[in-house]
Amino acid sequence: MANYPVVETFYSVQGEGLFAGAGAYFVRLFGCPVKCAWCDTKNSWSGSAPNFMSDKQIANQASLTSCDFAVITGGEPTIHPLQELVDSFRALGIKTHLETSGYMPKNVENIDWITLSPKLHSHTHESYLVSADELKFIVSNAEEIELYMEKFGEYFSGKKAVFIVPEFSKSRDSELLSEICEAVKLYGFPLRAGWQLHKSFGAV
């Protein structure tokens, strides 16, 4: 059994990536060394100390919902040893999706879906660049789109999707949205223009 610092758990709608729109059970773990200036979940790494829950407590709570999969997120969830949590979900027939910036080397197996969101100001471990199912780039301007293409383009082959998502405070910036569309048209598949569906729907 393992204990995890849990900021929050909730059953909601996945707002991003190829599973957007699907019901999902979210587990937000505490702590993140990446510290993005625009982070919209700062409470996951700068707030007060969270409650600890065991892997079985978390999985049992999720099993009371109708979820098909659980999303392990943060913060940066991979700073914690995740295998027991993943195994407890699997034991109850719940798939696991992981959202990570790739800050740590990959040390967990049997994840059903990996969303990797590298950050330009932080290290991204190659083990996640290779194994991720989808990539997500959060951008504030056209220059960042180009930097992501240069830095990570060699890893696009075999990915199900590579989303370019406007940083939320710029999600109605017509110039940035236009730049994203132009990049998708220029580079082609697997690039996609991304959005944060749950914020449009007001879901939590």
* List 24, 34, 86, 111, residue binding ligand SF4 (CB under 6 A): 34
**Strand ranges (E), the chain:** 3-13, 23-29, 51-54, 69-73, 95-100, 113-116, 134-139, 161-166, 191-193
Q: How far is the CB of 155 from ligand SF4 (least distance, A)?
A: 18
- DSSP secondary structure code for residue 108 in this structure: -
Comparing CB distances to ligand SF4, the nearer of 6 and 88 is: 6
Name the amino acid, one letter, at 57: Q
Q: How far is the CB of 158 from ligand SF4 (least distance, A)?
A: 24
Alpha-carbon distance of 199 to 47, in angstroms, equals: 22
36 binds ligand SF4 (CB under 6 A): yes
Q: Copy the structure tokens of residue 67.
A: 């979820």
Name the segment binding ligand SF4 (CB under 6 A); options: 38-46, 79-87, 162-170, 177-185: 38-46
* List 78, 88, 96, 101, residue binding ligand SF4 (CB under 6 A): 101
Name the segment binding ligand SF4 (CB under 6 A); options: 8-16, 33-41, 144-152, 176-184: 33-41
3 binds ligand SF4 (CB under 6 A): no
Comparing CB distances to ligand SF4, the nearer of 75 and 88 is: 75
- Convert residues 128-157 into a mask of x (bound to ligand SF4 by CB under 6 A) and - (unbound): ------------------------------
Q: How far is the CB of 125 from ligand SF4 (least distance, A)?
A: 13
* List 7, 28, 67, 76, residue binding ligand SF4 (CB under 6 A): 76
Helix 83-91 vs helix 55-63: crossing angle, to nearest 10? 30
State how beta strands 113-116 and 95-100 pair: parallel
Alpha-carbon distance of 89 to 5, in angstroms, equals: 17
Computed over its alpha carbons, how large is the radius of gyration of the chain? 17
H or E segment and range at residue 126: helix 126-131
Question: Where does this chain bind ligand SF4 (CB under 6 A)?
Answer: 32, 34-36, 39, 41, 44, 74-76, 101, 119
